[in-house]
Amino acid sequence: MAIKNRNLLESFNRAASGVIYCLRTQRNFRIHVFTAAVVLLLSFWFHLSKGEFLLVLTAIFLVLITEMLNTAVEVTIDLITDRYHPLAAIAKNLAAGAVILAAVFAVITGYLVFFPKIDPLIPKVIFTLLDSPVYLSLFALALVFLAVLFLKTRTGKGLPFSGGMPSGHAALGFAAATIIALLSGSGLVAGLALFLAFLLAESRVETKIHTPVEALLGGLLGIFLTLLIFQLLPRLR
């Protein structure tokens, strides 16, 4: 039996409870919120026009709204039945499809708004960091691999590339993506490389080989060690 809201304040409280529920229980929603926060910071950094900022906000809220509706559909179906039914599966797939479409719209929006602003900066960043021979790439990957082995030895959990802290796949994936970003000189190539590294880390989490924290720390380890090698060693020559 539905409970009616007694006043406007109670309506807001129940609505806020729905948002909090998603934050607490839905990993994808938390990822969307974190991504939205990063995008908003970039919006202020690049001083977007009102039209551009409105387009970015539209994309952000569209993704968050569809994710909440997807959660509502899933919870409702699970309440009605705990057995598999083809119509229930279709309903869940449709709701998930809405989230995918919203995410695609957000990616296209981000590309159209931010890429023209980021692309001119990439060569400056690359030429600032990149004054070093190609062998630094192999050295950076080897250092990341050894760092992963050392940390896993210290924690005593997981094999070199199977479980434990940090994720070796994520570390090497983001190290390779960072190298590609530094050597390619192309914003598009760098973005694709980082996206593929993210998918690699995500796959380790989805298969429950690693926790999100292990994947995150592995990715950060790969990025920062690679940047350290490309930045520090040329200065020591």
Q: What is the pLDDT of residues 157-176, one digit of tens each?
A: 655 556 667 787 888 888 88
Catalytic residue among 67, 202, 206, 214: 67
Q: What is the mean pLDDT of the chain?
A: 79
Per-residue confidence (pLDDT) for residue 55, from 0 to 100: 92
Between residues 196 and 8, the one the model is more confident about: 196
Residues 137-150, mean pLDDT to the nearest whole number: 74
Instruction: Dump pLDDT digits (tens) for 83-119.
Output: 777 888 888 889 989 999 999 999 999 888 888 887 7
User: How do residues 123-133 score in pLDDT, each as one tens digit?
Assistant: 665 555 555 55
Q: Let me know if 166 is exposed, middle or buried by CB neighbors in 10 A (0-12, 13-18, 19+).
A: buried
**Quick one: pLDDT at residue 162?**
62
Cβ atoms within 10 Å, residue 190:
21
Give, in order, the Cα–Cα distances in Å from 129 to each of 46, 51, 65, 159.
Answer: 22, 34, 40, 33
Better-scored residue on pLDDT, 109 or 13: 109
Residues belonging to the chain: 237
Q: Please choose, from the candidates 150, 153, 161, 169, the residue with its C-alpha nearest in 3D space to the C-alpha of residue 216.
A: 169
Backbone angles phi, psi at 49, to 5 degrees: -70, 170
Q: What angle do CA 144, 152, 129 make, to 5 degrees?
A: 20
Query: Is pTM beyond 0.75 here?
Result: no
The stretches of the chain forming alpha helices (DSSP H) are 8-25, 27-45, 50-80, 86-118, 121-129, 135-155, 168-184, 187-206, 212-236
Among 28-42, 111-125, 206-220, name the one with the lowest average pLDDT: 111-125
Of residues 237 and 188, the one with the higher pLDDT is 188
Average pLDDT over residues 37-63: 89
Letter for the amino acid at 204? R
CA distance 132 to 134: 7
What is the pLDDT at residue 56? 92
Question: 214 an active-site residue?
Answer: no
Is the pLDDT at 2 greater than 70, yes or no?
A: no
pLDDT higher than 80, residue 231: no
Q: pLDDT tier at 58 (50, 70, 90 boundaries)? A: very high
- Give residue 161's pLDDT: 54
Predicted confidence at residue 18, as pLDDT, reads: 81
Q: What is the pLDDT of residue 28?
A: 84
**For residue 215, is pLDDT > 90?**
no
Rounded Cα gap, residues 172 and 223, in angstroms: 9
- Residues 151 and 195: their CA atoms lie apart, in Å, by 25
DSSP SS3 for 4: coil
pLDDT band at 236 (very low <50, low <70, confident <90, very high): very low
